[in-house]
Amino acid sequence: MNYIDLFAGAGGLSEGFIRAGFTPVAHVEMDKAACNTLLTRTAYHHLNGTPDFGKYISYIKGKGITRDELYKLLPEDKRKSVINLPIGYETNPEIFNQIDKLKGNKTINLIIGGPPCQAYSVVGRSRDKNRMHGDPRNFLFKQYAKYLEYYQPEYFVFENVIGLLSAKTQAGESYLQMMLDLFKEVGYITEYKVQEAKKYGVLQNRKRVILIGKKGTEEGFYPDFEKWNPNVTVSEILNDLQRLKAGEGSFFESNYDIYNGDYLFQSHIRNGLDFTTQHIARPHTEQDKEIYRIAVSKWEKGERLDYNELPQSLKTHKNTSSFIDRFKVVAAEKAYSQTIVAHIAKDGHYYIHPDITQNRSLTPREAARLQSFPDDYYFEGMNDKPSRTAAFKQIGNAVPPLMAQCIAEKIKNL
């Protein structure tokens, strides 16, 4: 079963569909760093189980093989399967042309992906003086419909933030209803539900609208996804990773500490390697570290830090009426963390590690684990050098692969 991934990001949604047995024909993504990540992951899947898999391992360890050399191990169709173009009226013909060459005589059974969510996000609207009106991303669903028209897949899966349920145009029209009407116009009945990642084994409080479209006129096909409650706490994500202070760690090989649990293996987070990567902590100012100490010590008493309670000498923000929880500790003893979002690329204040002796924010690997990415998933930068910021952005924007796999298994059954 073949699919196209639109607005693919770092490939979290795609990873779930690959695990369920689907074959990607193309990933379309405008961000160059995310495209590099997609290609590196394509190399992982292509080389896994072959004699050349050791070259992938050497690459993510930063030893003896360049990214170009890794990509040369891929056949031409897989190298070209990641299309680094923005989706839009001007570029669609070129994207169609590239996908048509890749698919040959294959049928596209499925299209997956969701446009950038900032335009529908409640937080995004609250922070924007125009409430995101006039943002061109509001109407990227129209481009999605062009691909449905062109390829006529049996189904599609469209993911977005729950703000989509309330987002309206300046004239008061519902974006969601416009989508449903447009998709029906091009031949698809679309049904949707809010899904919570924590119900599918992801240790994170992440809610998303998952729309599923089926070609034709049948209704009532939206499946019930199989739930999984692993009955563990967030500490499971953190405890086997090396202890780091601010500024410590490595983009490349990082060995594990002792782990006696099952969750990390059952969730595919640890899947055979004896090391992980990108466990590298941000450097922090002395002021931030002092705030972190206060936040963690309060959290250890069961209290959250209110920004207004900080000593005046530690305050740098003038806004004292909103975002007063801008410094937030990740709750190790709870069943799930707060939502990982792309803002983690700008600072780690909302994701403070709960161990006061480490006194830092989360590393990219810790954030990726909370998103259920496997430890052998390597997040690339724009160029040959690894980038913590690019990794955080991709991780925050992603769909948790574990939730994606649950969706994919049911779509496969359909």
Residues acting as catalytic residues: 117
Confirm if 233 and 335 have CB atoms less than 8 A apart: yes
| Structure tokens given for 282 | 């941000």
CB atoms within 10 A of CB 245: 14
**Helix (H), strand (E) counts: the chain:** 15, 11
Provide the pairing of β-strand 110-112 with 155-161. parallel
What CA–CA distance (Å, rounded) separates 149 from 61? Answer: 43
What CA–CA distance (Å, rounded) separates 347 from 345? Answer: 6
Provide the pairing of β-strand 207-215 with 188-196. antiparallel
The torsion angle over the Cα atoms of residues 319, 323, 327 and 332, rounded to 10 degrees, is: 170
What CA–CA distance (Å, rounded) separates 334 from 17? Answer: 29
| Structure tokens given for 311 | 């000593």
Residue 194: its H or E element: strand 188-196
Provide the pairing of β-strand 254-255 with 275-276. antiparallel
| Structure tokens given for 367 | 């954030």
